[in-house]
Structure 1
Amino acid sequence: MYRLCIFDLDGTLLNTVYALTYVTNLTLDAFGLRHVTPEETKRIVGNGYRMQMKRALVLAGDEKLVHYEASLPIYMENFSKYCLKDVEPYDGIRELLASLKEMGVHVAVLSNKPHEQAIVNIETFFGKGYFDVVRGEQAGTPKKPAPDGAFAICRELGIKQEECLYLGDTNTDMETGLNAGMDTVGVLWGFRDREELEGCHPQYIVAHPSEVAEIVKKKNESHGRME
């Protein structure tokens, strides 16, 4: 039975690619480097902003990462101002969340986005307290694909790992679910393609949020019949 769904944020709940691209390019401007495109952004995000900037700098021509350390505070300053630029929920996400709540399933967010910005993103589009738990990157907790954040959410809600469904759009997310011993769902509306997701062998791959509601419904109905 699934009692909890943990969602990745960027590329799963919210389409943040234009905000991430804009902030990255503002940072690259500080060093006179060329911009990255939204399609390039989709490939460089997912492992936290530090790795994102490393990858962006290499793409922009700074292969020796001369500007890496200087880029980090600039990125965070820009991100604090523009983390909501052109952000919007993916089609069907609001309906999926409503369906899960109707079924009595808890919902949580686990992101490698800095914690404060993760909170701002979620509360802006879904309201304060809509999710049971929201966790961004926090000092002392290893980033995904380490399972520590997922474990912390389960402990906070008193839910076992095997009762959790983990949803995301990248190999980092699939590895997180696997490392946490949770069933995983790869979503195709986000930043990466089917081939990347299939390479991590998730239990499910879905093309639309409505499919997730059906997965949870069938699983929980089956559990009820077995009881």
Structure 2
Amino acid sequence: MIELVVLDMAGTTINEHGDVYKALAHAVTSAGATLTPEDLQAWMGADKTEAIAALLELGGVAADPALVEQQFAAFRRHLSEVYAENPPVALPGVEAALAELKARGIKIGLTTGFSRDVAAPILTALGWGIGEGQLLDAVVTSDEVAAGRPAPFMIHRIMEATGVHDVRAVVAGGDTVVDLLTGRNAGVRTLGVLTGALDREQLEAHPHDWVLDGVKDLPGVI
């Protein structure tokens, strides 16, 4: 029996219009690094500080800690500006699907490659509360664990916060390959959704239990 569903934010439960891709690309290229779409996609879903460091190195720029910190600050500024102009919204059917799962007694957690200061205003704007009687039971951000995706720590921290002990009772997933790899590393059942940048063939090439059109379809398979 499934007791807990853990989902990514951007591209999985929330439509942020692809702005996180643009902000991450800007943070890397403004430091003088070259960037390919393939490298950018490979690091989507990961902790953004780790992603910036890796993409700088791939793009030919030494990722010393001071530069990474500087470009992460640029990423946050850029994202804040574009979100103010074009606020994120819930993806179609997501709120109804999460409410249905909650009504069945399944707990809901969100994880994200964002830091808490980036994620919190998005959730507030959506009206997604955390705690008893709210849509969400727990949220864990990448700055709150020892390592972001594909390390399993955010999923396990959600399990800890919600009192779920058995990884076999957990479904976790998102719209990127990194999300699927994280679920596999955590030992849970894995979900891919097609509301991000990848198509079915690209997601199904990696370990998964389901690849669905969107989170809206999740209540129908668990």
After TM superposition, the score normalised by the length of structure 1 is 0.78
What is the identity, as a one-letter code, of the residue corresponding to 1:45? M
Aligned equivalent of 1:137, options 117, 134, 142: 142
Q: Is the 8 A contact 2:194 2:200 kept in 1?
A: yes
Q: Is the 8 A contact 2:44 2:178 kept in 1?
A: no
Is 1:152 matched with 2:157?
yes
- Alpha-carbon displacement from aligned partner over 1:65-107 (angstroms, at most 9, x marks no partner): 5895342322233334444553222111112112112212111
Q: In the alignment, which residue of structure 1 is the partner of 2:7?
A: 7
Aligned in 2, Cα 1:56/1:16: closer, same or farther, shift over 3 Å?
farther
Structure ID, larger Rg: 1
Q: CA RMSD in A?
A: 3.0
What is the identity, as a one-letter code, of the residue corresponding to 1:131? L
Q: In the alignment, which residue of structure 1 is the partner of 2:89?
A: 88
What is the identity, as a one-letter code, of the residue corresponding to 1:46? G
Q: In the alignment, which residue of structure 1 is the partner of 2:61?
A: 64
Aligned in 2, Cα 1:77/1:158: closer, same or farther, shift over 3 Å?
same
Partners of 1:132 and 1:139 in 2: how far apart? Answer: 16
What is the identity, as a one-letter code, of the residue corresponding to 2:46? N
Shift of 1:24: 4.0
> Which stretch of structure 1 is more off in the superposition, 153-162 or 26-35?
26-35
**Structure 2 segments unaligned to the other structure (5+ residues):** none
Q: In the alignment, which residue of structure 1 is the partner of 2:74?
A: 74
Shift of 1:118: 1.6
Q: Is the 8 A contact 1:28 1:35 kept in 2?
A: yes
- Alpha-carbon displacement from aligned partner over 1:158-186 (angstroms, at most 9, x marks no partner): 11221111121111111111111111111
Q: Is the 8 A contact 1:185 1:205 kept in 2?
A: yes
Partners of 1:6 and 1:105 in 2: how far apart? Answer: 10
**Structure 1 segments unaligned to the other structure (5+ residues):** 217-227
Aligned residue pairs: how many?
A: 213
Shift of 1:33: 8.3
What is the identity, as a one-letter code, of the residue corresponding to 1:48? D
Is 1:201 matched with 2:201?
no
Q: In the alignment, which residue of structure 2 is the partner of 1:23?
A: 23
Q: Is the 8 A contact 1:84 1:121 kept in 2?
A: no
Is 1:176 matched with 2:182?
yes
Shift of 1:32: 8.0
What is the identity, as a one-letter code, of the residue corresponding to 1:153? I
What is the identity, as a one-letter code, of the residue corresponding to 1:198? E
Q: In the alignment, which residue of structure 2 is the partner of 1:102?
A: 103
Aligned in 2, Cα 1:18/1:64: closer, same or farther, shift over 3 Å?
same
After TM superposition, the score normalised by the length of structure 2 is 0.80
